[in-house]
Amino acid sequence: MAEEKGKITPQSQDFPQWYQDVIREADLAEVAKVVKGCMVIKPHGYAIWEKIQADLDKRFKATGHKNAYFPMLIPMSFLTKEAEHVEGFAPEVAVVTHAGGKKLPEGEEYAIRPTSETIIGHFFGKWIESHRDLPLLINQWANVIRWELHTRMFLRTTEFLWQEGHTAHANHDESMEEVMRMLNVYGDFAESVMAMPVIRGQKTESEKFAGAASTFCIEAMMRDGKALQAGTSHDLGQNFGKAFDVKFQTESGQVDYVWQTSWGVSTRLVGALVMSHSDDTGLILPPKLAPIHAVIVPIYRKTEERAAVLEAGHKLAADIREKGFCVEIDDRDGKRPGDKFYEWERKGVPMRIELGPRDIAAGTAVTKLRVGGEKVPRSLATLASDLPAVMDGFQAFLLDRAKQFRAENTVTVDSWKEFLEVFEAGQSKFVWAHWDGSRETEAAVKEETKVTIRCIPLPGQGPDSEPGACVKTGKPSACRVLFAKAY
């Protein structure tokens, strides 16, 4: 279906087109057609990313991490040092073979950063000598290039923005504490800031990060029932320590390789926001990530009313800003109030405030939340003071609504027939089912249904652990795992 400016395709009719329409109408981004697989993140979309960055950055620093920056050009020789890592990323790597008008000598080509474990491992090898240098806790905000064949804005693009944490530790227990700590940072951020409930779990051997000993993830349900991997935390073991000779002297005087972790989230989170909360009217944003919390729309019929309405609007806006919220006054002439409402709804602003001469005379303004509420008159004297509670309530409403949607679209199945019925006609839900633990069965399920194992749930994240029979083969299974179609 071709894009039609001003129109949002209903979710029920064509979810992928709905997603593209919401991004366009909210003015979040556009496809950079002159650069294959890339996008331009527009100011409204980038403002959301900035708020994501700011919140996560505080969390990282609170847990002892420091920001650094490493080159985006990585010697190809570095990628080949960890065999599983290079094999996993080879199809996605973009390589610089010419520079300065000349072809680079063989063996001196550069990969454009697909991820930074290798180059950071190199510098860790220079910086770490003793147990006194550990733990080393580094985070990097950067861009990466992965040569994707099938792209979709925010979810999967050739270039995207992210953060990648990289840490080194003296033993495996400490590195695993870090892996789980950062997984929980991501999980708490998703739920408390994005209002997006997630399931925390471990990836299967087939789905883990290339070069990792194990990978843990948070998985969220989008409004079409599909799963989105929203963040990952990797136990790298000593794999990269050995590949880059990152050794340290232990307290007992022995020499050992460091134990490393890496973890990251990306601008994919903006896409997750769109697909977790939005509707057929447009974008819906949780207040904690909304660049604009409220918009004041002055309403008047006579020119002589304009000055008084705008004066009251600016006074209200100043009161709201004092409470720490971002507010806009839409005083554009030549545009009807209804058109303004329509535009700001599409951009996901949590609250609309209507203010006219009658409202001012009554000492009130009419407010309306983006979703889940009717028009409510509020006192001009107390509106700004009421706003923190109103925004907290809207934030909680969105999380509760997302939890309810996930619960309504999660099922437990025990037979292959039931499993197939859930995913028939292209639909998806979260399915808890037994799996025999083999790569072969996992691959067979994916081949037949395009359904993947999203994760093996951590304690408390799924059904109680219980033995059973694999839904596909009937072989013994230790616990149920999460199946879904995914982005």
pLDDT (tens digit per residue) in 141-172: 999 999 988 899 999 999 999 999 999 999 99
Which residue in this structure is represented by tokens 């010419």?
A: 98
Helix or strand holding residue 252 (H, E)? none
Kindly state the tokens that stand for 369: 């939340």
Rounded to whole angstroms, the Cα distance separating 219 from 230 reads: 6
pLDDT of 124 higher than 80: yes
Q: What pLDDT is stored for residue 149 in this prediction?
A: 85
Phi, psi of 315, deg, nearest 5: -65, -45
Residue pair 295/325 in contact by the 8 Å Cβ criterion: no
Cβ neighbours for 216, distance < 8 A, ≥ 6 positions apart: 179, 180, 183, 200, 201, 202, 203, 232, 233, 234, 235, 455, 458
> Residue ranges of the domains in the chain?
15-277, 294-386, 410-484
CA distances from 106 to 44, 470, 486 (A): 44, 50, 39
Residue pair 37/148 in contact by the 8 Å Cβ criterion: yes
Stretch 265-276: mean pLDDT, rounded? 98
Which residue in this structure is represented by tokens 């601008």?
A: 267
Residue pair 474/415 in contact by the 8 Å Cβ criterion: no
Query: SS3 string of 66-129?
Result: EECCCCCEEEHHHHCCCHHHHHHHHHHCEEECEECCEECCCCCCEEECCCCHHHHHHHHHHHCC
Q: Is 379 left (phi over 0), alpha (psi -120 to 50) or beta?
A: beta
End-to-end CA separation in angstroms for the chain:
20
Cβ neighbours for 285, distance < 8 A, ≥ 6 positions apart: 48, 273, 277, 348, 349, 350, 370
Stretch 63-84: mean pLDDT, rounded? 91
How confident is the prediction for the chain on average, in pLDDT?
95
pLDDT of 359 higher than 60: yes
pLDDT of 33 higher than 50: yes
> How many angstroms from the chain centroid is the CA of residue 194?
9
DSSP character for 444? H
Q: What pLDDT is stored for residue 1 in this prediction?
A: 44
Q: What pLDDT is stored for residue 426 in this prediction?
A: 81
Examine domains 294-386 and 410-484 and report if their fold is the same: no
DSSP character for 135? S
pLDDT of 192 higher than 80: yes
Lowest mean pLDDT among 79-88, 115-124, 285-294, 447-456: 79-88
Q: What pLDDT is stored for residue 83 in this prediction?
A: 67
Stretch 275-291: mean pLDDT, rounded? 98
CATH of domain 294-386: 3.40.50.800
Which residue in this structure is represented by tokens 């390589």?
A: 95
Q: What pLDDT is stored for residue 114 in this prediction?
A: 94
Q: What's the CATH number of domain 410-484, 3.40.50.1110, 3.40.47.10, 1.10.8.620, 3.30.110.30?
A: 3.30.110.30
Cβ neighbours for 106, distance < 8 A, ≥ 6 positions apart: none
User: Per-residue DSSP letters for 259-319?
Assistant: EEEEEEEETHHHHHHHHHH-BTTB----GGG-S-SEEEEE--SSHHHHHHHHHHHHHHHHH
Residue pair 352/365 in contact by the 8 Å Cβ criterion: no
Q: Cα angle vertex 13, ends 9, 16, to 5°?
A: 65
User: Per-residue DSSP letters for 147-207?
Assistant: --SS-BTTTB-SEEEEEEEEEEESSHHHHHHHHHHHHHHHHHHHHHTS---EEEEE--TTT
Tell which wins on pLDDT, 92 or 160: 160
Instruction: Name the pairing type of β-strands 327-329 and 214-221.
Output: unpaired
Q: What pLDDT is stored for residue 91 in this prediction?
A: 83
Within 10 Å of residue 148's Cβ, how many Cβ atoms?
18
pLDDT of 2 higher than 60: no
Phi, psi of 200, deg, nearest 5: -100, 135
Which residue in this structure is represented by tokens 């633990």?
A: 437
Lowest mean pLDDT among 84-98, 297-311, 354-368: 84-98
What digits encode the pLDDT tens for the residues 236-255? 999 999 999 999 999 999 99
pLDDT band of 79, cuts 50, 70, 90 = confident
pLDDT of 80 higher than 90: no
Rounded to whole angstroms, the Cα distance separating 238 from 257 reads: 6
Q: What pLDDT is stored for residue 89 in this prediction?
A: 78
Residue pair 166/262 in contact by the 8 Å Cβ criterion: yes
Residues in the chain: 487
Rounded to whole angstroms, the Cα distance separating 434 from 453 reads: 11
What digits encode the pLDDT tens for the residues 391-429? 999 999 999 999 999 999 999 999 999 999 999 878 899
Q: What pLDDT is stored for residue 3 in this prediction?
A: 61
Residue pair 212/239 in contact by the 8 Å Cβ criterion: yes
Tell which wins on pLDDT, 387 or 150: 387
Give the burial string for 46-84 (b: 16+ CB within 10 Å, else e): bbbbebbbebbeeebeeeebeeeebeeebbbebbebbee
Q: What's the CATH number of domain 15-277, 3.30.930.10, 3.90.650.10, 3.90.1170.50, 3.40.50.1000?
A: 3.30.930.10
Which residue in this structure is represented by tokens 């694999």?
A: 470
In percent, how much of the chain has pLDDT > 70? 99
What digits encode the pLDDT tens for the residues 300-345? 988 889 999 999 999 999 999 999 999 999 999 989 999 999 999 9
User: Could you give the count of Cα atoms lying within 13 Å of 85 in the half-sphere of its Cβ?
Assistant: 24
